Amino acid sequence: MRFDLCGGNDYHRGVIFPQDLPMKPDVFLNASPGRNRGMEPGTFRVATYNVENYLDDSTPRSGGKSVEARAAVRATIRAANPDVLALQEMGQVALLLELRAALKAEGFDYPHWEHVAGSDETIHLAILSRFPFAARRSHTDDCFELAGRSQSVRRGFAEVDVQVNSSYRFTLLAAHLKSKHAMPEGDASAWRLAEATVLRAKIDKRLAAQDEAKIIVLGDFNDVEDSTTLQTIRGAGPGEMFDPRPTEGGRRPSPESSGSPRPPAWTAYWKEQSRYERIDYLLISRAMRRDWVAAESTVLARPDWQTASDHRLVSAAFRAAAAGVISG
């Protein structure tokens, strides 16, 4: 499959001065009153959450996110308490900043942020972080050829290098791939696979530059785990991305040989098909897997989850051991 760059849109960054200036050594972790409680020192949490049409009343697509739904989204984020959060289906920059301000008022401060607007005029990608960004490489101009025509990656990709402490950095790549809904431009599954192929190329580029790069690829991939879409993103061989498969309860499922039932791992409810699916993922590179805390990988189960979104928040935790700074 051929892919290239096309006319880009835009992405908006949190204020670069002074928010992304290097901090003094060893003051990154445990710096916020909203820091994760009950987790060992030096551990941080990364999450992905599709907030389902987090839009205002000016958007005809949904009529706007209700006050009740917005409060439920914030309650979900507070319950998960991630240090770095990738969001899908976020509205315009003003709505992201409104959410960020509301969380700060509730004691959960995310001073660093990124908002990525692709060719989709309504819903976008965003990142909130307690840690500064050492580099930003978000993408809004990727194209691919499908059925003889050039098409664009609708929501782009958010890419940042997150500086957890003075000696620990990782790359975060966030995506929201084409949904399963029919589209006039072509087959939705082929479009989604094309976007996945472009995403995998970005992973390969990072690993080619540094084969031991710490990488997290996460978001709403809109496909199940045995699909060609997921297998394309994961890859194979030394560059294969590991799937922690978070579940309710925070522990990885027992092996099939144990006879224990797998805890629920679904992340979204597809109303049109009356079906629960696992379509939101957090994949990690070989180097990142060494720092993964299996017991802290969760799909957040809350009784009011559907008030907030048709997706559930997915997260994983990692130990930020001193391992040398990964270059941007």
- Give the tens place of pLDDT for each residue, 102-119: 999 999 999 999 999 999
**Is the pLDDT reported for residue 259 higher than 70?**
no
3 state DSSP class of 145: strand
pLDDT at 249: 83
Q: Among 72-76, 212-216, 289-293, 322-326, where is mean pLDDT lowest? A: 322-326
Q: How confident is the model over 54-65, as a mean pLDDT?
A: 80
3 state DSSP class of 115: strand
Instruction: Determine phi and psi for 305, rounding to 5 degrees.
Output: -60, -35
> Measured in Å, how far apart are the chain's first and last C-alpha atoms?
28
Which of the two residues, 305 and 325, has the higher pLDDT score?
A: 305
**Is the pLDDT reported for residue 208 higher than 80?**
yes
For residues 326 and 163, the answer to whether their CB atoms sit within 8 Å is no
pLDDT at 60: 66
**Is the pLDDT reported for residue 298 higher than 50?**
yes
Q: How confident is the model over 23-38, as a mean pLDDT?
A: 49
What residues does each domain of the chain span?
3-319
**Is the pLDDT reported for residue 253 higher than 90?**
no
Q: How confident is the model over 60-76, as a mean pLDDT?
A: 89
3 state DSSP class of 43: strand
**Is the pLDDT reported for residue 80 higher than 50?**
yes
Q: What is the CATH number of domain 3-319?
A: 3.60.10.10
pLDDT at 61: 63
Q: How confident is the model over 42-54, as a mean pLDDT?
A: 96
pLDDT at 323: 43
Integer angstrom CA distances of residue 132 from 17, 19, 160, 201, 255: 11, 7, 10, 26, 38
How does the average pLDDT of the chain come out, rounded?
Answer: 87
**Is the pLDDT reported for residue 184 higher than 90?**
no
